[in-house]
Amino acid sequence: MTNSAKITALVAGSAVVGAGLGLLFAPQSGADTRRQVRHYAKRAQVQAARVSRSVQAGVERVIEQGKLSQENQIRRPVEAA
């Protein structure tokens, strides 16, 4: 996992925790709170999907680079010492 993916996950997680704490301490009705919880849950779901796609793309890039590196090693002539 790259540093940017870790930072994104940390920010997303912090936002969810902060939103949850804000909802717990907000003086409002239960219906309003449930509506906000659904809203934040949907946002967290979308953010998680974005992070997942980003991580998946990164893994695919690393795999492709590994394959290319392996092919280059196989094709490189062996140098005599």
Residue spans of alpha helices (H) in 1-81:
3-25, 30-75
CA distance 24 to 18: 10
pLDDT per residue over 36-80, tens digit each? 888 988 998 898 888 888 888 888 999 999 888 887 777 766 555
pLDDT per residue over 3-34, tens digit each? 777 788 888 888 888 877 877 787 888 788 78
For residue 36, the model assigns a pLDDT of 82
Task: Quickly state the pLDDT bin for 81 (edges 50, 70, 90).
Answer: low
